[in-house]
């Protein structure tokens, strides 16, 4: 069994005050290393091969990305490849539809944690949110958070903003915070549209300094990243991570 990479969750905790989006963005965009440190290097295509996953991990080691995000079947491969690097492996747990049983989420989170996964992204139960069953939404998220935190892992809850009304985005973000998520994430990458600066700002407005905000899906350029960071994101999910970091290097040169 792979040796888990320890994560100090205290480094990811926020107070209840405000979040300085512009200050954070300026720091993150100040150097290649600072930018890479806020990007989740992502490959979630169903057709991704082992060679591609290994290459993803090698790139993460070279650029020092915040995390490598893969599908569950590649968790052990990624953990083994990143062993000793200090870079955590992240995995999407449950259905990308936000329709998994609570027991499924718990079991998968525990199984992946035992493999060494230290960041977990889940889609909130969208249908329950739209049905007004807020207790079920909070219970589902909290169940996953308890397992993740027990194993020293971080939980990110995906709102899937493309499918929600303004009221549902606001309500969903608050429920996720009350259920002990570490991050609220905009999108899974499997809906009709992805992150927008407006949605990131909306989520940060709810979260304040209580949790992190991850912008993901459709973020392919340095300008995209800058817009998301200035809107309030403190983590970016992208499959174009290397190109984005190289763009910053060219701009600085």
Strand partners, 120: 91, 155
Tokens found for residue 14:
């926020």
Q: In this structure, how many other beta carbons lie within 10 angstroms of the beta carbon of residue 159?
A: 27
Write the Ramachandran bin of 116: left for phi over 0, alpha for psi from -120 to 50, otherwise beta: left
Q: In this structure, how many other beta carbons lie within 10 angstroms of the beta carbon of residue 225?
A: 27
Write the Ramachandran bin of 86: left for phi over 0, alpha for psi from -120 to 50, otherwise beta: left
Catalytic residue ranges: 121, 185, 214
Q: Are 92 and 121 in contact (CB under 8 A)?
A: yes
Distance, in Å, from the CA atom of 1 to the CA atom of 210, rounded to the nearest integer, reads 35
């Amino acid at each position: 069994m792979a040796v888990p990479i320890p994560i100090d969750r205290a480094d990811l905790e926020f107070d209840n005050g405000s979040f300085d989006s512009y200050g954070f963005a300026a720091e993150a965009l100040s150097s290649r290393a600072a930018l890479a440190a806020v990007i989740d290097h992502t490959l979630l295509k169903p057709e991704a091969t082992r060679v591609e996953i290994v290459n993803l991990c090698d790139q993460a080691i070279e650029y020092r990305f915040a995390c490598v995000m893969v599908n569950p079947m590649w968790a052990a491969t990624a953990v083994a490849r990143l062993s000793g690097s200090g870079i955590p492996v992240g995995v999407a747990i449950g259905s990308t539809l936000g329709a998994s049983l609570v027991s499924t989420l718990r079991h998968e989170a525990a199984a992946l944690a035992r493999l060494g996964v230290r960041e977990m992204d889940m889609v909130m139960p969208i249908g329950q949110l739209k049905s007004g069953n807020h207790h079920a939404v909070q219970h589902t998220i909290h169940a996953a958070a308890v397992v993740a935190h027990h194993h020293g892992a971080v939980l990110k809850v995906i709102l899937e903003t493309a499918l929600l009304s303004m009221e549902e985005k606001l309500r969903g973000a608050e429920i996720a915070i009350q259920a002990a998520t570490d991050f609220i994430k905009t999108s899974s990458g499997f809906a009709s549209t992805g992150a927008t600066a407006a949605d990131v700002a909306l989520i940060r407005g709810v979260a304040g300094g209580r949790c992190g905000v991850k912008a993901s899906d459709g973020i392919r350029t340095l300008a995209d990243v800058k817009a998301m960071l200035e809107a309030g994101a403190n983590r970016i999910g992208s499959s174009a991570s290397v190109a984005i970091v190289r763009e910053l290097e060219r701009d600085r040169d």
